[in-house]
Structure 1
Amino acid sequence: DAKKMKTTIGTHNGVFHCDEVLACFMLQQLEQYKDAEIIRTRNNEELEKCDIVVDVGSVFDPTRNRFDHHQREFKETFSSLRPNLGNGFNIRLSSAGLIYVHFGETVIKNILQDNDFTSITSEEIKKLYLKMYKYLIMEVDAIDNGVPICEGTPNYYINSNLSARVDRFNPSWNRKLDEQAQFEKAKSMVGEEFVNNLLHFASSWLPACKIVETSVDKAANIHESGEIIELLEACPWKEHLFELEKSRNLDGKFKYVIMMNKKTDWRVICVPVEPQSFTCRKFLPENWRGIRDDQLREVCGIPDASFCHAVGFIGGATSREGALKMAVESLKT
């Protein structure tokens, strides 16, 4: 046994898929597997000797480091294994999801540390952990398990998703390629995708989250209704606002967001009913829509008002007072 000093990750050989490729990448971000050799085989005796096994072996037993999801009785989802994090993720896990559920927070922490994110809190890690599952890992779980993205026939196909890109690394029927080398290429591609997503969320999405949170905390100081928030910096806000409303039982509370675009250019933006929707909770008044400058000022009686969009989902003013007044007046209609 002396010669088995190297740590080993076992997975199956033959055609590889995104889930075990990504699972292997994630495992190699952990201290205990960072130099591990990946053994690709279906030979049970060889798999027995591996320190951890993913996507093969028909056993799911975290206490023995066995992470397969193909067995008939396997029904686990992110939410069934991590019920404390809510119940919204009910797609059956693939080996990627299984490894992510068990090791994901540490994977995230290690990658962030390697990229100089030194002061990240455990609360922020938790946010990133959920975000990465929702926007990257869940897709891999769903595709591996044949869960369609929608009912019926889709209007178009997405052939550039991570799983499709991994599939194309497999040696094709008419071209002999080194399977192991192709597996490694696929692994570095999914690794880059994982890291890029994580760094984007950590460097752009998280700081925006803080700005929106501060604005929500201070809403009562902006206007007595508590329905107007002021963003101290222009940043992506919709998704954060909806998540904060949900977590604080304030669903549908906020109607308008005001923020500075440039020094003499302020915006009042109507909050939509859903982050992606064009329908707003409360549009700007009908008689303001599609007019600007003097004409608008005459109609709305706000000296600094500068424009109102024809649909009424956004307006502008030359000062903070003007933008706030536009929001306050709109609440009354």
Structure 2
Amino acid sequence: MRIVTHSGTFHADDVFASVILRAALGDFDFIRTRDAALIATADLVFDVGGVYAPARKRYDHHMRDLPRREDGTPYSSVGLIWRDYGRAALPRFVPGIEESMLDSVWHDVDAGIVLPIDQADNGIATASPSHLALLIEAFNPTWDSIQTYDEAFSEAAGLAHGVLQRACRQAYAEAKAASFVLTAAGAAKTPQKNPHVIVLDRKLPWEKAVFENGLTDLLFVIYPNEDSTSWYCRTIPPEPNSFGQRLSLPESWRGLQEEAFSKAAGISDGVFCHPSGFICGARSQASAIRLAEQAIAAGQAAEAI
């Protein structure tokens, strides 16, 4: 198989597109050229050629009637290649990924990595000096360099591969975490459990799953620290990335540690309560759950007054 893109100066979209195709298709002859004959006879062409025809594996986007996303955002070559080959590439970036996780991971990477490159390449979003698109462009040879553009492209592709692989694995980890959170939320609704408290058996990212799945009844999440020597009781914020609380921990606990905190909270193994009332901890799971239950009872009592 022969795959072609343009020669000379490169941008993030063609670099990342090449990395995706390598992961999806394996070995192929890769040529960077503007030779019309080579472009015409290639098996797949992206970011050059003046033709957008996915059925013929032609993925240029430099034309007046350029391809767009459903929301109207113009595609760059990476958006087009990720759209058609991203799911096939994911098993190479994330070995062992379950088929059921492909769509979730694909969408996360599309939103977090691919879409911003589409926007920057088409000039519809301002790229700050640290924007990924500009970091890739910085690999182009300087005017006084003896390095060829193809050599520089290869170096840039190495960085892009690392970024994309890490983004895919992070998205996969978050998708798995969401599954654990939803299972815990389901368990919280069973008899003898508190429906406002979820208990996780490991530390993992839970906030995204809470908000994306509309778990509005949850008030606290219980989880261990990294070595399971203590357990956290964390309030759930009213919106993502906030230190606010749907229900704050009792004022009488805040800022206390060890024995003083244990006495105030009525447990034997308390560790601390943060002064702002968004998190506290104990040395056992049972005590951490007890802290959440007491905070909920205190909140209900305050509302009844």
- Whether the TM-score (by the shorter chain) exceeds 0.5 is yes
**Distance in 2 between residues matched to 1:287 and 1:264, nearest whole Å:** 25
Q: 1:268 aligns with which of 212, 233, 240?
A: 233
Q: 1:15 aligns with which of 4, 9, 13?
A: 9
Q: Is the 1:8–1:39 contact (alpha carbons within 8 Å) kept by the matching residues of 2? A: no
Partner of 1:136, secondary structure, is helix
Q: 1:58 aligns with which of 44, 50, 66?
A: 50
Match of 1:134 in 2: 111
Code of the aligned partner of 1:292: Q
Cα gap change, 1:149 to 1:44, in 2 (>3 Å): same
Partner of 1:218, secondary structure, is helix
Q: Could you report, residue by residue, the CA deviation over 1:193-247 in whole angstroms, capped at 9, with x for unpaired residues?
A: 2223334444x4444333323212212138655121000112222223323x24x
Q: Is the 1:284–1:312 contact (alpha carbons within 8 Å) kept by the matching residues of 2? A: yes
Partner of 1:74, secondary structure, is coil
Partner of 1:30, secondary structure, is helix
**Distance in 1 between residues matched to 2:259 and 2:147, nearest whole Å:** 70
Q: Could you report, residue by residue, the CA deviation over 1:304-332 in whole angstroms, capped at 9, with x for unpaired residues?
A: 54432100000122333322222122223
Q: Is the 2:32–2:150 contact (alpha carbons within 8 Å) kept by the matching residues of 1? A: no
Partner of 2:189, secondary structure, is helix
Q: Is the 2:16–2:160 contact (alpha carbons within 8 Å) kept by the matching residues of 1? A: yes
Partner of 1:229, secondary structure, is strand
Q: 1:316 aligns with which of 258, 273, 281?
A: 281
Percent of residue pairs bearing the same amino acid type: 28
Q: Is the 1:270–1:280 contact (alpha carbons within 8 Å) kept by the matching residues of 2? A: yes
Partner of 1:259, secondary structure, is strand
**Distance in 2 between residues matched to 1:207 and 1:271, nearest whole Å:** 20
Q: Is the 1:55–1:69 contact (alpha carbons within 8 Å) kept by the matching residues of 2? A: yes
Q: How does 1:151-170 map to 2 (within 5 A)?
A: 157-159=128-130, 161-170=131-140
Match of 1:36 in 2: 29
Match of 1:173 in 2: 143
Question: Offset of 1:297 from its aligned partner?
Answer: 4.4
Stretch of structure 1 that moved more, 177-186 or 102-111: 177-186
**Distance in 2 between residues matched to 1:108 and 1:39, nearest whole Å:** 25
Partner of 1:267, secondary structure, is strand
**Distance in 1 between residues matched to 2:281 and 2:203, nearest whole Å:** 14
Q: Is the 1:211–1:232 contact (alpha carbons within 8 Å) kept by the matching residues of 2? A: no
Cα gap change, 1:302 to 1:102, in 2 (>3 Å): same
Code of the aligned partner of 1:218: A
Gap runs ≥5 in structure 2: 300-305
Question: Offset of 1:8 from its aligned partner?
Answer: 1.9
Q: 1:197 aligns with which of 167, 172, 181?
A: 167
Q: Could you report, residue by residue, the CA deviation over 1:51-105 in whole angstroms, capped at 9, with x for unpaired residues?
A: 111112332211111112222222512xx2xxxxxxxx76432100100001110
Q: Could you report, residue by residue, the CA deviation over 1:13-40 in whole angstroms, capped at 9, with x for unpaired residues?
A: 2211110111122222233x62223242
Partner of 1:215, secondary structure, is helix
**Distance in 2 between residues matched to 1:294 and 1:171, nearest whole Å:** 63
Code of the aligned partner of 1:183: F
Cα gap change, 1:109 to 1:164, in 2 (>3 Å): same
Match of 2:75 in 1: 93
Stretch of structure 1 that moved more, 63-72 or 320-329: 320-329
Q: 1:213 aligns with which of 166, 171, 182?
A: 182
**Distance in 2 between residues matched to 1:263 and 1:108, nearest whole Å:** 32
Code of the aligned partner of 1:187: A
Partner of 1:105, secondary structure, is helix
Cα gap change, 1:287 to 1:108, in 2 (>3 Å): same
Q: Is the 2:222–2:288 contact (alpha carbons within 8 Å) kept by the matching residues of 1? A: yes
Question: Offset of 1:184 from its aligned partner?
Answer: 2.2
Match of 1:292 in 2: 257
Match of 2:41 in 1: 49
Code of the aligned partner of 1:208: A
Match of 1:69 in 2: 61
Gap runs ≥5 in structure 1: 1-6, 81-88, 151-156
Corresponding position: 1:281 with 2:246? yes
Say how many residue pairs are matched: 297
Q: Is the 1:60–1:67 contact (alpha carbons within 8 Å) kept by the matching residues of 2? A: yes
Cα gap change, 1:30 to 1:72, in 2 (>3 Å): same
Question: Offset of 1:255 from its aligned partner?
Answer: 1.1
Cα gap change, 1:177 to 1:294, in 2 (>3 Å): closer
